[in-house]
Chains A and B, each alone.
Chain A
Amino acid sequence: MQREGSPFRGVGTVALKEAADHMTSARMHLIMLLVLLTAIGAVYGAIDRIRDTTAQDAYLFLKLFTVAREPLPSFAAFLGFLLPLVAIALGFDAINGEFNRRTMSRLLAQPIYRDAVLFGKFLGGLLVIAIALLTLWLMMVGLGMLFLGLPPSGADIVRGVFWLAATLAYAGVWLALAIAFSTVIRSPATSALAALSVWLVLTVFWGMIAPLVAGIVVPIDPFDPMSVLNRFEWQQAIARISPQTLYGEVTGLLLDPAARSVGPLFMHQMQGAVIGAPLPTMQSLLIVWPQISGLIAAMLVLFTLAYVVFQRQEVRA
């Protein structure tokens, strides 16, 4: 049956309202404070380290994001770990919260489609994350200029912007996951816990699970050197189920022009290569293109799941 009218009517209104809600919510303030503090800590550590090695470093500015000083991890690693938390905080009660506040039936009785509600919620969350990311990134750039006295080059900015976009896609995966849980599970507390457990498993434990599973699937044969490679590739494939692994690879390539590959490299592949010479930005991007596609695909799959469930849901609680 063909329906009349655009499903996108009201998306903007819902998205802006959601964004405004997030911006003023105590939840968002707390989590952004956490992110801000860790970010400042990470940059401070990085700047300290970079000062010591300024002379030998070619891509100083990008190092700001990737260099770490014990015991703090780098800014990029921090984002990989904390960004899912931000996204989950924004999305875990997106749909079931409306049901619990009993606003859902009133909202759906307005002249908009259900699609607009879900799209709006997702876009609103993504908008807030984008603003927060951009602010953080600009702050990092500013701090770098202030303490290192070094402006970023054009190429640095381009790489930085691509990396920001990839980061947003990574956050989108987690936001879509949180919204999917909020659609399927009626209690906000349960859906938050469910999303947080997925986050814990995929960001903390997945790195331990992947080699274990790979070892079971492809045992190493001491007389067959190819089995080592085989096993490594399996391990990598399993690890890439976690969006954090994908994001880590994207970060590694985009923020380090000297990086050549995310997988194993053979000597014969390196023939004629100038070790340590930077790759053009587009080439770096090309290498991690599958990872970026993977992140976006995961986001779309999760969002579609939420969409299908939400469209079929009964309005009455």
Chain B
Amino acid sequence: MSTVVLEAKGLAKRYGDAVAVAGIDLSVNQGEVIGLLGPNGAGKTTTILMLLGLTEASEGSVSILGKDPLRRPLEVKREVGYLPDSVGFYDTMTGRENLAYTAKLAGMSRELAKERIAAALEKVRLSAPADRPVATYSRGMRQRLGIAELLMRDCRIAILDEPTSGLDPQSTQELLDLILDLSRGGMTILLSSHMLDVVQSICSRVALFNKGRIGFFGTIEELAARIGRGSFVIDVEADGIDLGQLAGKTDGVTSVASASHGLWQVEATRDVRSDLAKLVVEAGGRLKNLDLRRARLDEAYNRYFREVANAA
């Protein structure tokens, strides 16, 4: 069932003295949706280009469907679709013509291409504007056209670089639905982003990139468990006291941060609401609100990168 379709070992890329990617190991199973997460410049795009064989790695090896993308690039590129960061199309050609061109490059027959293009355009809901020049398309439409290209080529693996960057929330959602559709069709998908909420909703596993390394690779739940520290977050609203000094000594509290005047965010390993209430009241403060919630993943994610930055 879980066959490995994509594997990278010790992948590294250096530009002179600058290290873009410093040794990455990655293994992706058939049908997974993997999110590559990380700030800009963390090495996500470079990694993707190396996986595709578009950039030669300084060190390490890649195997896609058992083939080396540097040695057998044509076979690999036939199986792997790539949607680059802010994808470009030929503006003077229509959407349909753009797809027809790539179909021809992929060696498809004219009839087959025509059929598949029509089906792909239908699926991404671009049938109506398909015969208008791409110059008139919005950003979201271009991204959808890029997805249509992947659909049309019927790749087994799709690599999407920042597919949702610069899209409005509605277009983002539409695009994510399309990506999920691709995944349900059996496609293995790698998707890079610097926005966690995008990845969270559709990815089975995420890889956190930082300074050219993968700091974490696993499911979202594992990520939350690993970097959530205290998995309870309590918002405390109170007057007349300084909770930062009081609550620090309480058992189970891992940190207290002042969010604004009279508002604190307490992280704890257990539910410490009653202890906090007691503390506030005994210190003569007026307790206004105590709110317990689970740590949100984006907070955990931000905290992860903060921690890494501090450690460095």
Chain A contact residues, CB within 8 Å of chain B:
1-5, 9-10, 13-14, 17, 21, 24-25, 101-113, 314-316
Contact = CB atoms under 8 A, between A and B. Distances in A.
A17 B89 CA distance: 14
Nearest to B86: A102
B71 A2 contact: yes
Contacts of A102: 84, 86-88
Contacts of A10: 105
B45 A109 contact: no
A112 B105 contact: yes
B163 interface: no
A109 B71 contact: no
A101 B88 contact: yes
23 contacts: A1-B70, A4-B74, A5-B74, A21-B90, A24-B92, A102-B88, A105-B49, A105-B82, A105-B84, A106-B89, A106-B149, A107-B105, A109-B54, A109-B77, A109-B81, A110-B106, A111-B75, A111-B107, A112-B105, A314-B55, A316-B45, A316-B46, A316-B49
A112 B74 contact: yes
A1 B54 CA distance: 15
A5 B86 contact: no
Nearest to A5: B74
A144 to B, nearest CB: 38
A106 B83 CA distance: 7
B112 to A, nearest CB: 15
Contacts, number: 86
A313 B86 CA distance: 20
Interface residues of B, number: 34
A106 B87 contact: yes
Chain B binding surface SS class:
mixed
Interface string B269-304: 000000000000000000000000000000000000
Contacts of B102: 106, 110
B77 A106 contact: no
B125 interface: no
B124 to A, nearest CB: 16
Interface in B35-72: 45-46, 49, 52, 54-55, 70-72
Contacts of B86: 102
A108 B88 CA distance: 12
A6 to B, nearest CB: 8
Given A4-B75, A105-B49, A108-B54, 17 more contacts: A3-B73, A5-B73, A9-B107, A14-B105, A21-B92, A24-B92, A25-B92, A101-B90, A102-B87, A103-B88, A105-B82, A106-B82, A106-B149, A109-B84, A315-B49, A315-B54, A316-B45
Given A21-B92, A315-B55, A110 B75 contact: no
A29 B93 CA distance: 18
B131 interface: no
Contacts of B84: 102, 105-106, 109
Contacts of A25: 92
B54 A101 contact: no
A98 to B, nearest CB: 8
B77 A101 contact: no
B73 A103 contact: no
A9 B104 CA distance: 11
A316 to B, nearest CB: 6
B122 interface: no
A103 B104 contact: no
A3 B45 contact: no
Q: Which of A105, A107, A112, A315 has the most CB of B within 10 A?
A: A105
A13 B75 contact: no
Contacts of A2: 71
Interface in B97-118: 101-102, 104-107
A314 B20 CA distance: 13
6 smallest beta-carbon distances between A and B, as pairs: A102-B88, A109-B82, A5-B74, A105-B84, A111-B77, A103-B88
A109 B73 contact: no
A12 to B, nearest CB: 9
B78 interface: yes
A113 B105 CA distance: 11
Q: Which of A3, A104, A110, A316 has the most CB of B within 10 A?
A: A110
Contact of B105 (A3, A105, A110): A110
Contacts of A9: 74, 107
Contacts of B46: 316
Contacts of A314: 55
Contact of B101 (A5, A17, A113, A315): A17
Contacts of A108: 54
A75 B230 CA distance: 85
A244 to B, nearest CB: 33
Contact of A5 (B72, B92, B149): B72
